């Protein structure tokens, strides 16, 4: 597949700043700092969430469309808390952002570092890169991270956040992952830019764009991976389209030891967890949003 079909960007710390200024150009003002000081300490209870939501709305109104440069999840990010649930949560309540999933992921990263080896992580549906830059900050300079995101506007935010990483360990690829190579339709939710899918969305106002796509196994082979420590898939119900052909054809060495995937059970055409278990995985966790599977290395 050519670079023009599947455009990529390998981004390193210290790269040229974007025209709207480098990190810190949109430091939070006094009100936003005060709100963050409260919302980031809220417990994950009904009352805590309600207080955080009310204060979040107040801060977002005061921002008037501007982004905010902050540290969250151990990494520096520029966040646009408008029409993207992920960015709202990471900015105001990072403690609510997949805490159980990240705890397991962090354990795998620490295990790799303790064994003196680099950590390989694949982030499918990377959005603005919260998982990718978190792993980059934690895994150190020997990590290898691939962040895949097909939406052009979100991809620009992803690449900016990758530039803030302390080491040049993250590669961003602007494409979709699917069951075949070619150009496919990606459906976009206008109310939540982080929600895009190769399957038709429920929103009647959903828009669509054409994007290049590549199968997961081909992507890993093309990028030269010989093993994968962890993988995260968040593709709004299209996990079965990606994983079914991969799980049936991938060699054992390319099966990730840790698999975090969004729970799209109501949209999958197959029993995806059963197929995952057939390849030697055990279910470690099921949260409100995600499945987490682990597989012992052979």
d(CA 186, CA 227): 29
d(CA 287, CA 184): 30
For 102-111, what is the mean pLDDT?
A: 98
Q: 119 vs 141, 170, 185, 217, CA distance in Å?
A: 9, 11, 33, 19
209, β-bridge pairs: 186
For 100-114, what is the mean pLDDT?
A: 97
Architecture of domain 99-294: 3-Layer(aba) Sandwich (3.40)
pLDDT of residue 154: 94
Tell me the DSSP string of 256-270. -SEEEEE--TTT-SS
Predicted confidence (pLDDT) per residue in 255-281, tens digit:
999 999 999 999 999 999 999 999 999
For 157-186, what is the mean pLDDT?
A: 95
pLDDT of residue 235: 93
Q: What percent of the chain is modeled with pLDDT above 70? A: 90
211, β-bridge pairs: 184
For 207-222, what is the mean pLDDT?
A: 94
Structure tokens, 201? 């969305």
Instruction: Choose between 206 and 180: higher pLDDT.
Output: 180
Residue 295 has pLDDT above 70, yes or no: yes
Residue 108 has pLDDT above 50, yes or no: yes
pLDDT of residue 16: 37
| Domain boundaries along the sequence of the chain | 30-88, 99-294
184, β-bridge pairs: 211
pLDDT of residue 58: 96
Q: Are 163 and 21 in contact (CB under 8 A)?
A: no
Q: 135 vs 110, 118, 125, 256, CA distance in Å?
A: 10, 11, 15, 15
**CA torsion, points 223, 224, 226, 229, in degrees to nearest 10?**
-30
Residue 296: Cβ-neighbour burial (10 angstroms; 0-12, 13-18, 19+): exposed
Q: Are 79 and 67 in contact (CB under 8 A)?
A: yes
For 236-242, what is the mean pLDDT?
A: 92
d(CA 113, CA 92): 30
On the CB side of 1, CA atoms within 13 Å amount to 20
- Whole-number CA gyration radius for the chain: 19
d(CA 125, CA 209): 16
pLDDT of residue 177: 96
For helices 99-114 and 130-139, the axis angle rounded to 10 degrees is 30
Predicted confidence (pLDDT) per residue in 1-50, tens digit:
223 334 444 443 333 334 467 999 999 999 999 999 999 999 999 999 99
pLDDT of residue 206: 66
d(CA 59, CA 57): 6
pLDDT of residue 208: 85
Least confident of 18-27, 30-39, 154-163, 179-188: 18-27
Residue 181 has pLDDT above 90, yes or no: yes
Least confident of 7-16, 79-88, 221-230, 260-269: 7-16
Beta-strand pair 290-294/258-262:
antiparallel
């Amino acid at each position: 597949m050519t670079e023009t079909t599947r455009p990529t960007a390998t981004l390193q710390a210290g790269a040229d700043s974007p025209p709207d200024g480098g990190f810190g150009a949109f430091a939070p003002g006094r009100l936003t700092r005060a709100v963050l000081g409260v919302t980031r300490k809220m417990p994950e209870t009904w009352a805590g969430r309600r207080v955080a939501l009310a204060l979040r709305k107040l801060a977002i109104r005061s921002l008037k469309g501007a982004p905010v440069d902050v540290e969250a999840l151990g990494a520096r990010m520029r966040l646009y808390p408008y029409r993207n649930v992920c960015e709202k949560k990471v900015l105001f309540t990072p403690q609510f952002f997949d805490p159980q999933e990240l705890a397991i992921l962090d354990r795998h990263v620490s295990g790799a570092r303790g064994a003196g080896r680099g950590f390989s992580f694949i982030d499918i549906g990377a959005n603005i890169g919260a998982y990718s830059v978190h792993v980059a900050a934690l895994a150190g300079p020997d990590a290898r991270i691939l962040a895949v995101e097909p939406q052009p506007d979100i991809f620009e935010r992803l690449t900016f956040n990758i530039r803030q990483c302390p080491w040049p360990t993250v590669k961003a690829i602007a494409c979709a992952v699917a069951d075949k190579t070619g150009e496919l339709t990606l459906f976009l939710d206008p109310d939540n830019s982080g929600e895009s899918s190769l399957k038709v969305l429920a929103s009647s106002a959903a828009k669509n764009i054409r994007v290049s796509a590549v199968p997961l196994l081909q992507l890993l082979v093309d990028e030269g991976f010989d093993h994968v420590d962890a993988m995260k898939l968040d593709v709004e119900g299209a996990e079965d389209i990606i994983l079914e052909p991969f799980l049936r054809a991938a060699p054992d060495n390319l099966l990730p030891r840790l698999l975090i995937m969004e729970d799209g059970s109501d949209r999958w055409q197959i029993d995806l967890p059963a197929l995952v278990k057939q390849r030697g995985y055990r279910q470690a966790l099921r949260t409100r949003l995600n499945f987490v599977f682990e597989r012992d290395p052979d």
